[in-house]
């Protein structure tokens, strides 16, 4: 029986299965454990089940001599130092596939809401500013016949493309090694949707230069990771009208603090990282994260491991 530290309670019964097999400590708060509490819990653990809001860096890994498996409750693993984990022979698991459809649904919800200005319309109704059938009031954009540019044609990007077909959108994509050059995609797309992982190469992939390449009426949708977009550049782009709008499920920083200048930008819709927030997706993520950890602690390969070469370490 191994000691495990879990940084948050999870939906469903997966943590019950983990507790039946191992000695499990679950951080009791709804917010991420502060760094000192994360360290205190992980320091004596053999298995760590963490969320993308938990920074599992080289210093933390070095301070946890017993640690032999990390399971991340997310598809992305940019919160985990994979090099440091690999150097220790620690496999790192993640949860792909099970949240693909939910995140693609959220992408399209944001795209539709931005195109038809639903956020502004709902706010107007609540404020008593409903203008009965004003012919020029709150006019949005047509999807049919428009061009959707997908940056990153992985699992989620492909799922978004399938949904786009039903709305008669023309789909183009830019993916490492295939599709259009990013510059051409930005120049020709009416909607740009980001689905690339956060890596050193994609950090601030969309900055001032890229935003100025976009059409003046184009909408940027981001359900990937906040730092893929340069927040300061996006703030200027919206205030100065370089682009038509933005719909974001992720931001940098995250969450945005009250009074952040991006929140004052026009034609902006921001939701609090809800891409995978369905009952089914979050339960499936918990099941897979626990299955990854159970497998590794039992000496078996994880179902989904991002650094399988770690197992080859002496």
Give the SS3 label for residue 112: helix
225 is catalytic: yes
Answer positive or negative: Cα dihedral of 212, 214, 216, 221. negative
Active site residue 254: yes
3-state DSSP assignment of residue 33: coil
223 within 8 A of 197, measured Cβ to Cβ:
no
Which single residue is written with the structure tokens 């897979």? 288
- The active-site residue out of 22, 68, 173, 225 is 225
Residues 173, 273, 282, 304: which is the catalytic one?
Answer: 273
Helix axes 100-115, 118-126, angle to 10 degrees: 70
> Which parts of 137-246 fold into alpha helices (H)?
155-166, 182-188, 208-213, 231-240
Asked whether 98 and 308 are in contact (CB, 8 A), the reply is no
Tell me which H or E stretch contains 232.
helix 231-240
* Spatial strand order in the sheet of 191-194: 178-179, 170-175, 147-151, 191-194, 219-222, 245-248, 268-270
Our answer to whether residue 273 is catalytic in this structure is yes
Here the tokens at position 295 are: 């497998």
Candidate list 25, 184, 208, 254, residue with the active-site label: 254
User: Could you tell me the two tokens for 228?
Assistant: 């893929």
Peptide bond connecting 90 to the previous residue in cis, omega within 30 degrees of 0: no
* Region label for 168, one of left (φ > 0), alpha (ψ between -120 and 50) or beta (otherwise): left
- Please identify every residue annotated as catalytic: 225, 254, 273
């Amino acid at each position: 029986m191994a000691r495990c530290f879990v940084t948050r309670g999870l939906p469903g019964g997966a943590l019950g299965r983990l507790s039946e097999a191992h000695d499990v400590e679950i951080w009791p708060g709804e917010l991420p454990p502060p760094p000192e509490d994360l360290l205190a819990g992980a320091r004596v653990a053999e298995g760590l089940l963490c969320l993308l809001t938990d920074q599992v860096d080289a210093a933390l890994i070095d301070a946890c001599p017993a640690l032999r498996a990390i399971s991340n409750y997310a598809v992305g693993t940019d919160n985990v130092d994979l090099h440091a984990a690999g150097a220790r022979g620690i496999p790192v698991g993640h949860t792909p596939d099970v949240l693909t459809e939910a995140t693609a649904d959220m992408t399209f919800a944001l795209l539709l809401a931005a195109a038809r200005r639903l956020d502004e319309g709902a706010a107007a109704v609540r404020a008593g500013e409903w203008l009965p059938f004003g012919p020029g009031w709150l006019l949005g954009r047509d999807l049919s016949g428009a061009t959707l540019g997908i940056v990153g044609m992985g699992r989620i990007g492909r799922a978004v493309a399938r949904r786009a077909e039903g709305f008669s959108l023309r789909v183009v994509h830019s993916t490492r090694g295939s599709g259009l050059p990013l510059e051409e995609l930005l120049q020709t797309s009416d909607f740009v949707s980001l689905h690339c992982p956060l890596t050193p190469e994609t950090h601030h992939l969309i900055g001032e230069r890229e935003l100025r390449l976009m059409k003046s009426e184009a909408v940027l949708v981001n359900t990937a990771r906040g730092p893929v977009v340069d927040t300061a550049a996006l703030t200027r782009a919206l205030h100065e009208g370089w682009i038509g709008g933005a719909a974001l499920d992720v931001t940098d920083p995250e969450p945005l603090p009250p009074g952040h200048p991006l929140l004052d930008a026009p034609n902006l819709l921001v939701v609090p990282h809800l891409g995978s927030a369905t009952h089914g997706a979050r339960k499936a993520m918990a099941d897979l994260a626990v299955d990854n950890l159970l497998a590794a602690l039992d000496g078996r390969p994880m179902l989904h491991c991002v650094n399988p070469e770690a197992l080859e370490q002496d």
